[in-house]
Structure 1
Amino acid sequence: MSTTFRNYIDGTFADASDGRTLDVVDPSTGDVYATSPLSGAADVDAAMAAAAAAFPVWRDTTPSVRQLALLKIADAMEARADELVAAESRDTGKPLHLTRSEELAPAIDQVRFFAGAARMLEGRSAGEYMEGMTSIIRREPVGVCAQVAPWNYPLLMAVWKFAPALAAGNAVVLKPSDTTPASTVLIAEIIGGVLEELELPRGIFNVICGDRETGRLMVEHPTPAMASITGSVRAGIQVAQSAAKDVKRVHLELGGKAPAVVFEDADLEKAVEDLIVGGFFNAGQDCTAATRVLVHESVHEEFVAALAKAAAGTKTGRPDDEDVLYGPLNNAGQLAQVSGYIDRLPEHARVEAGGHR
């Protein structure tokens, strides 16, 4: 039976206004298991209007109210842990046991962290810098935040975006990746329930599903005061250029190419052990993944042999296999990109382990 995901706007789940949809693929099987809205300008307008209308009420709440809401959201996430883990694993192909221990547990803890931060806002001293006048810096929320999350950590990235924004009194319009909407839509259901219980405006948190064009429409929309994306350097440049037109604030978390350095006096066994996790966890789909290793020439051959042996023995498989370190690459585009590295191997390079699907 196919699943249908929907946008969440002002407390109501809805399809895209023009009925367009995207297929959602289970990366473990390659099968389409769901559809999600391909949202356009009208949907983005509706979500931004809802957030803008709800923002003044949320802005004027006390830190204790925002803290209580976030604590209840964390409790509700914990109560629905099995559903969140299943949704995240289905969309990403990640092992269930690692998703629960390494992602869901920290995500819940991080919501609680920002609940505490809501009551620990940074203060600045006041002073008399002009005769008869007192100067003070006042911290205020910026307004509506347009947030675009990636597919490598959909649940964690959603938390890292919405939790601090809500804690500070902002309203949110959040877009998950087109390949991984499941956990974000479930979070919308959870947050909506908490806001309804506390009689708070549900328009402070909205979820819009869609593709890159949907994200562009969100970032370029005149309503948000801040745009936040996690993505490529090219995407970051585009967002910065767009934001400059109306001086939006930006929060950019962009891709990198993280090196590891192995010196001649290193414990090679420990280095290999750490690099297997650092390189292969989440199938290497991580901005902090150890994607290249620089090794001192005196230990190069020994290290390469040890790393290749360990890599060859690293297990991948289905999400329900508790003996695997990582699952499949998330989507066909990423598979093609990674496969291309092998196809374009330079003459001086050689494959020591793997090199095939």
Structure 2
Amino acid sequence: MSSFPVSGELAVRAAEVLARLGADAPSSPDGPVVSRSPITGEVIGRLEASTAREVDDAISSAARTFTDWRLVPAPQRGAVVARLGQLLTEHKDDLAYLVTVEAGKVTSEALGEVQEMIDICQFAVGLSRQLYGKTMASERPGHRLSETWHPLGVVGVISAFNFPVAVWSWNTAIALVAGDTVVWKPSEITPLTALACDALLRRAAADVGAPAGIHHLIQGPREVGERLVDDPRVALLSATGSVRMGREIGPRVAARFGRSLLELGGNNGAVVTEHADLDLAVRGIVFSAAGTAGQRCTSLRRLIVHSSVADELVDRIGKAYEQLPIGSPLDETTLVGPLVHRAAFTAFEDALAKAKADGGEIVTGGGTRFADQLDDAYYVEPALVRMPAQTSVVHEETFAPILYVLTYDDFDDAIALHNEVPQGLSSAIFTTNQREAERFLSADGSDCGIANVNLGTSGAEIGGAFGGEKETGGGRESGSDAWKTYMRRSTNTVNYSTELPLAQGVNFL
């Protein structure tokens, strides 16, 4: 039986951690922004929501600061991010603790999320000396044609609870070296981690002499984020969340001709062919489907298995599921922690009920744990469900550990099943057949923004651009050339001749 912290222990330790990180502990006993730990369900902090005036002041300050920050040489801007990376390294354990307490991640995953922040800081510092443009061949003699990249403006960041610090760092580290300023509205479920990150960045800015106005934190419910969405001074709105949220945000930002970077739902699938290494597949599948209690946007939801190996694979996954340690994420032996709140638990139960109504068979899991010990914390057994077809419930993303299993006989059918859902974030194939692997990565293979071979759908590295297609929103964050989203391009033509030829051979005078 898992051991849980005694009442009040989480709140006391969270306050101590915040103090070490230089953040003020929440001191509003009736504040509407509530940090409730999914570990025990108890409230560990309350904050006041940012007022309309405070949001306007934050955007105004960010806009004013931008006019000077954009002129600071990019390598000097990178110094802030370098210092942030150092502070994150020094305080890795403390920040990971807050991630565990507020998001419910097991210790190793929380530490991994902070490491991801450190990694993106290192990437961004290197990027600060590599914001390259191009020189193109001009068709006119005595002319030079090139492009340059310039800072964009104020970047609004709306982040979700499941990666409460990493996604902020992806956006903020890149935006700062690009010459932008940032206004961050975190999930109202994880306000304490946001206080910690803001304190560390403010300290980093002070240590290197950068203006405090390069970053602002606003907290509160949906209405607070809507002010970022609708303010014309916010040049780029980066939002991570549900497809429903994206449907509302996208048109509103577009209506004011702003830019949006949307990271939305991911109903991720993996194909397992008859040529797969099943030992490897089981390990990759179990982590992708059950890790973080199925609450990653890249969590594996659909398993599309060749009929010749389906029974064996399902049996092996089922046995692995039954051995997963479920309990308090503060216990280092735990691999599956809690769902974030009651609504997530209700969605889990509703999805399983729909799956059974559609003819699905629950192979293992689907039960609850510790309900007799905890009143408002929700621990579930990851569910493995065999489905006769890809029904409507399989087309929906349920943010919980449910893995639907479908079978196929023809590889074309496997690709079609995989691509049939409206989301397009992450995907995987397990095979030792090169033709199958290459087909999956080709233009008529996976239609997702991320496609993996012989590893699961979750656990992306920061060096590649992260994001997906279709209802996932099309945004790209983190590595590769995702930095271009945070800058504006200028095409430049210089005439160093004494003539004035026009393009395309046009004669005017």
TM-score normalised to the size of structure 1? 0.91
The one-letter code sitting in structure 1 at the alignment partner of 2:115 is A
Aligned to 1:281: 291
Is the contact made by 1:57 and 1:201 (CA closer than 8 Å) also made in structure 2? no
Paired letter, 2:344:
Q
Q: Which has the higher helix share?
A: 1
Q: Which amino acid aligns with 1:68?
A: A
SS in 2 for 1:145: strand
Give the distance between the partners of 1:321 and 1:219, measured in 2 at CA.
Answer: 40
* Cα distance in 1 for residues equivalent to 2:320 and 2:367: 17
Per-residue CA deviations over 1:275-323 (Å, capped at 9, x if unaligned) read 0011111111112211111112222222222211111111121122111
| Matched AA of 1:300 | A
Structure 1 partner of 2:60? 49
Q: Percent identity?
A: 30
CA displacement 1:18-67 (0-9 Å, x = unmatched): x9522110001011111133224222111101101111121110112111
Mapping of residues 275-354 of structure 1, within 5 Å: 275-344=285-354, 345-354=356-365
Aligned to 1:37: 48
Query: Alignment partner of 2:45: what SS?
Result: strand
2:255 aligns to what SS in structure 1? helix
SS in 2 for 1:72: helix
- Structure 1 contact 25–91 (Cα < 8 Å) conserved: yes
Question: Contact (CA 8 Å) 1:20, 1:39: kept in 2 or not?
Answer: no
SS for the counterpart of 1:43 is helix
Take 1:64 and 1:206, find their aligned partners in 2: how far apart are those partners?
A: 22
- Secondary structure (helix, strand or coil) at the match of 1:103 reads helix
- Which residue of structure 2 aligns with residue 204 of structure 1? 214
Aligned to 1:21: 32
Structure 1 residues 77 and 256: CA distance shift in structure 2, 3 A: same
Cα-to-partner distance string for 1:56-86 (whole Å, 9 max, x where unaligned): 1211101121111111111011111222111
2:26, 2:46 within 8 Å by CA — same for their partners in 1? no
CA contact 2:293–2:339 (8 Å) conserved in 1: yes
Q: CA–CA distance in 1 between the matches of 2:244 and 2:108?
A: 34
**Aligned pairs (5 A) from 1:228-267:** 228-267=238-277
SS of 1:177's equivalent in the other structure is coil
Q: Which runs of 4+ in 1 moved over 3 A?
A: 1-4, 12-16, 126-136
Cα distance between partner residues in 1 of 2:358 and 2:88: 51
1: distance between equivalents of 2:147 and 2:304? 47
- Name the counterpart of 2:187: 177
- In the alignment, what sits opposite 2:465? none
* Deviation per residue, 1:182-218 (Å, 9 max, x gap): 2221111111112122222111101111122221221
Match in the other structure for 1:84: 95
Aligned residue identity for 2:318: A
**Offset, 1:129:** 5.3
1:96 alignment partner AA: T
Letter in 2 for 1:254: L
Q: What stretches of structure 1 of length at least 5 have no aligned partner?
A: 5-11
Q: Does 1:59 align with 2:70?
A: yes
Deviation string 1:163-194 (CA, Å, 9 cap, x unpaired) is 11111000000111111122221111111112
> Aligned AA for 2:85?
A
Residue 160 in 1 paired to residue 155 in 2? Answer: no
What is the correspondence of 1:88-127 to structure 2 with a 5 Å cutoff?
88-100=99-111, 102-125=112-135
Shift of 1:105: 1.7
Indicate the larger mover: 256-265 or 127-136: 127-136
Please list the CA deviations of residues 88-122 of structure 1 after superposition, one character each: whole Å capped at 9, or x if unmatched.
1110111223321x222221121111011011102
Cα distance in 2, alignment partners of residues 153 and 67 from structure 1 = 24
For the 8 Å contact 2:80–2:208, the answer to whether it is kept is yes
Question: Partners of 2:94 and 2:107 in 1: how far apart?
Answer: 11
Separation in 1 of the partners of 2:131 and 2:125?
11
Residue type matched to 2:290 in 1?
A: F
What letter corresponds to residue 123 of structure 1 in structure 2? G
For the 8 Å contact 2:100–2:330, the answer to whether it is kept is no
Secondary structure, aligned partner of 2:234: coil
Separation of aligned partners in 2, 1:134 and 1:233: 44
Pairwise CA RMSD of aligned residues? 2.4
Match of 1:351, SS state, is strand
Supply the distance in 2 between the matched residues of 1:262 and 1:128 (Cα, whole angstroms).
Answer: 50
Q: Which residue of 2 aligns with 1:187?
A: 197
Taking structure 2 as the reference length, what is the TM-score of the superposition? 0.65
> 1:331 Cα shift?
2.2
Which residue identity does 1:217 align to in structure 2? R
1:151 is matched with which residue: 146, 161, 183?
A: 161
Q: Distance in 1 between matches of 2:152 and 2:224?
A: 22
CA distance in 2, matches of 1:258, 1:190: 34
* Residue deviations 1:198-250 (CA, integer Å, cap 9, x gap): 22211110111112222122111121011100111221121110011111011
| Range moving further from structure 2, 265-274 or 73-82 | 265-274
1:141–1:170 contact (8 Å) kept in structure 2:
yes
Is residue 74 of structure 1 aligned with residue 89 of structure 2? Answer: no
In the TM superposition, residue 128 of structure 1 has moved relative to its aligned partner by 5.1
Give the letter for the 1:304 counterpart: V
| Pairing partner for 1:137 from 128, 147, 152 | 147
Distance apart, 1:134 and its partner CA: 4.6
Higher RCO (CA-CA < 8 Å; seq separation 6+)? 1
